[in-house]
Amino acid sequence: MNPDQIQIIRQSFALVAPQADMAAALFYRRLFEIDPGLRPLFRPDLTEQGHRLMQMLAAAVRLLDKPASLVPVLEDLGRRHVGYGVRDEHYNAVGEALLWTFDKVLGPQFTVDAQMAWSSLYCVVATTMKRAAANVRPSIQAVC
């Protein structure tokens, strides 16, 4: 990501952060519209999950210019998501829902440049998480 994209992401996220609860609710509503099969991967009450989503986004935004710190966080997240049942194909729905959410929350302030910057960031996030997830060995379970 280039410095201009980092600045755009930080500026746009600063506008979303005060509306974090609403943004998270919009995100999950849209995610489950795109792929209803994802709903069982989450607890019924999405409040805490929404907080975690927004915290993860805030951390990613903070660490954009520190990839050596960001990448291990994303790799750990990718490995943990394997245990939740997340598969590679789910990442497309998440990216689509995320961009849709920013468009709805920011309106005209979600410019083409902002969309491209967030899309680039999500590509880095998803690629890093999927790469780490691919290296997770399935657990061996006893057959009784």
Instruction: Give the separation between CA 120 and CA 123, rounded to whole angstroms.
Output: 5
pLDDT confidence tier of residue 49, bands split at 50, 70 and 90: very high
Q: Give the pLDDT score at 1.
A: 83
Helices 20-34 and 90-106: crossing angle, nearest 10°? 140
Structural fold of domain 3-134: Globin-like (1.10.490)
Contact, 81 vs 133, CB < 8 A? yes
Contact, 130 vs 91, CB < 8 A? yes
- Main-chain phi, psi angles of 12, to 5 degrees: -70, -35
For residue 62, pLDDT beyond 80: yes
First and final CA of the chain: distance in angstroms? 50
Looking at residue 110, the DSSP 8-state letter turns out to be: S
* Mean of per-residue pLDDT scores for the chain: 93
Q: What is the pLDDT of residues 94-103, one digit of tens each?
A: 999 999 999 9
